[in-house]
Structure 1
Amino acid sequence: MTNLEPSRPATYIVSGGASRLGAAFVRRISEGGNNVIIGDLDEAAGTEIADEFDESVVFCRCDVRRDEDLAGLVQCASDVFGGLDGIVNNAVSYLDNGITSSRADWHAAFDVTLFGGAVLLAEALPLLTKSPRLLSSTWQVLQRKLHKKIGRFTQPQKPRSFI
């Protein structure tokens, strides 16, 4: 029988983690005894938030519009904490002028808010599939959708609540 007891604290990436809601996610997740990687463009704010904590919170500069930055963010989780257990896709673009937004503004907003999150998940999937934790109903849906592509997953243990 496989031991599904985690051998390390849970590790989360919070994209857009250096401002307002993202910073609140970082603080709350960390308060639960978890590791957090802050991914954001704002180096000063990200570093300041990481400095509030011990080595369990680190900042990694990331532009979610750049695939190589997203790959680096996931690599940071692997290198620093030895794995990844969850993602909070919080990076957003505020280029919203409603229906009067230009096509370029729509593309920019979707590039950050939708495509950045999707590519981050795709980059993180190899580490997430190794996690012994079940993180959300979104993950359960993803398991069912990907079952045909990557095979059956073992049943992970329930996560500790961080909220």
Structure 2
Amino acid sequence: MSRGTSDPGADGARPLGRRRLGLALLTLLALTGGGVAVTALATPSEAPVGDADAKGLPPATAPVTRGDLTDSSRRDGTLGHPGERKINAGGPGGTLTWLAPTGSVVERDERLYEVDGEAVRLMYGDEPMYRTLKTGDKGKDVRQWEENLAALGYT
């Protein structure tokens, strides 16, 4: 028989070729399926919270939008203070009878507030006036008082 015919002939070459092809396809299919299974088991379905994905991006993104930030909270309770505290305003105690309006600008030697109708004037400095000054007193508060008087023209 000639080589160009479709008859397998006596040597059985054609059935052996089909068997090899089938075996090769079956092996290829088994290897592909195994590779897919290994990849699926090795790759987590979700990235842990806070971790970046393979591209370096955060796990979740959202578009940036402009808006107002608001928050509120409601609580039951009582608002109070731990007790009374005397604030020394440089003189004997009394009743606060006037206060500079909120948002106003008070300059040196202007009325800041009144106690029992008597004005308390603003003076500049870091030291509080915690004592009544008298002739011969020394200290930072005295130097600060003298600087304020000099700025007002009393030298």
TM-score when normalising by structure 1: 0.23
Looking at both structures, which has the greater relative contact order when contacts are Cα pairs under 8 Å and sequence separation is at least 6? 1
Higher helix share: 1
**Structure 2 length normalisation: TM-score?**
0.23
